[in-house]
Structure 1
Amino acid sequence: MKPFDAYLHTILTEGGMEAQRHGSSTVEAQHLLLAVAAQEGTAPQRILASFGLDYPAVRAALEAETQHSLSMVGVSPSSFGLPRPSTVTPSHQPRMGETGKLAIERGFASASRKRDLRPAHVLLGILRAEVGTVPRALALAGVDRAELLARVQSSITDDGIA
C-alpha cells in the first residue's frame, strides 16, 4: 500500500471511530478533522498544531460549536442533563456522511493526479468547506481559516506538488 493510501485508510478508519464515540451513524468532516489531528508526526497534524489545534483543542472547538449552535435555538445541554450519545455497535459501522464525502472529494480534486496526493490534501479538503460544523468551530476557536488554508496549500507546494 502506498503511503498516501495508508494515510487515507487510517483517517477514514479513525474518523469512523470518532463518529462512533460521538454516537453518529455517519462519518462527517468534523470526525475526519479529529482523525487528522490525532495522527502524531504527520504534516497535517503539525500544521494544525502550529495553529493551536492539537487533538484536544480541535475537540474543544467542536464541542464549543455544538454548544453555540444549540444556544442559537434556545437549548442549553447543561439545563437538560442530556444523556451521553449512544455508541454505534461494531456491526453497524458508521457510513460516510455527506460532509465527509465532500471533504474527501475536495481533497482529491485539489491534486492534478492521484499519484500527487499527499496527506495535506485530506486536510485541505476538510478546510475548504465554506459552511458547516468545521468552519463554525474554527471561527469560534479564533482560527484564521484563510491563513490555515494558505499554510496547508503552501505545504503541498513546498513538497514539490503544485
Structure 2
Amino acid sequence: MPTSDPGSDCVAAAIHADWTPRNRRYDEAYCAVNEARDAYERCLRNASMHKEKSIAFFTDRCNAEDEGAYVSFNGRTHHVRRQPGKPHRDVRYAGTYKGDGVVVRIVPRRLIERHVDPSDPLDATVRYAVDVEIRYGGETARIAAVYDDQR
C-alpha cells in the first residue's frame, strides 16, 4: 500500500496514488509515536486529510539523478537507484529501480496534461498516467498512479 513519502519540501517531481481506506492503518502507525491521546488524534486527523487527495509515494526529493530515488509503501521508505535503460521523453522516472530489497518498475501509459510556459516554449511540465510495479519480499503490487512534474 503506498505511503506518503516523508522527504524534503522541495518542488520535486513525484508519483501519486489515491488515498484509500486501506491507508488508514499506516496513518495510525505513523501517529502512534504520539503518546498523548490528543496529540495522536490530532495527528490522525491531519493524516486523514488525504482522503480526498493523493499520496506522493515515489520521488527523488530534488536530489541529483545519480543519488537515486525513494519509494514509500506499507509505512516504510526505501532508497532505490535507477537501472540502465532507455529514457522516456516526458516521464523522467520511467524505468526500473532497485535497492533495499525492492524492485520498482515505472511504465508510462498516457499523457493527462501538458503545460508549456508561454514565455519559454522549452519549459514544459506534464502529468502522465503511469503503472508502478513494486516487488518486495516475494510479493508484487501494481499501482495505477500519476507522474507529476508540476509540483
Relative contact order (alpha carbons < 8 A, sep ≥ 6): 1 or 2 greater? 1
TM-score of the pair, normalised by structure 1: 0.27
Instruction: Point out the structure with the larger strand share.
Output: 2
Instruction: Point out the structure with the larger helix share.
Output: 1
TM-score of the pair, normalised by structure 2: 0.28
